[in-house]
């Protein structure tokens, strides 16, 4: 709930077109839920983003679009171990699904 309020406040302060949400969840379902929340609103209707469609750009840290923007050495030190133990394709597919359905900023 606290993170939802932070995202909402940042979108109001800086503009939705100036934010990109980078997720780091270890499970596809959790990543999809987080992406849905910042794009289409909180589907549980429990947090500050309930009914609030921000349409933010939302990616997972494992997606090539994000990976390519990070210094390779830093990515290797901080993230590459995740790639070996997580179901990367499922996580990417789930995040991409919600981004493509609800994000106003997909590029």
Query: Per the structure block, which two tokens stand in for 16?
Result: 């939705």
Low pLDDT (below 70) residues in the chain: 107
In the chain, how long is the greatest CA-to-CA distance? 40
pLDDT digits (tens, 9 = 90+) for 20-43: 999 999 999 999 999 999 999 999
> So what's the pLDDT on residue 107?
63
Give the helix/strand (H/E) hosting 3: helix 2-14
Contact predicate 79/15, CB 8 Å = no
pLDDT at 105: 85
Q: Model's pTM, two decimal places?
A: 0.92
**Rg of the chain over CA atoms, in angstroms?**
14
């Amino acid at each position: 709930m606290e993170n939802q309020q932070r995202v909402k406040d940042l979108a109001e302060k800086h503009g939705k077109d100036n934010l990109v949400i980078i997720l780091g969840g270890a499970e596809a379902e959790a990543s999809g839920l987080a992406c849905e929340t910042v794009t289409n609103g909180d589907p549980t209707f429990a947090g500050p983003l309930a009914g609030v469609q921000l349409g933010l750009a939302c990616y997972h840290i494992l997606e090539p679009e994000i990976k390519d923007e990070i210094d390779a050495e830093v990515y290797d030190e901080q993230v590459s171990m995740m790639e070996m133990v997580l179901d990367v394709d499922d996580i990417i597919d789930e995040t991409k699904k919600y981004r493509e359905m609800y994000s106003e900023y997909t590029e």
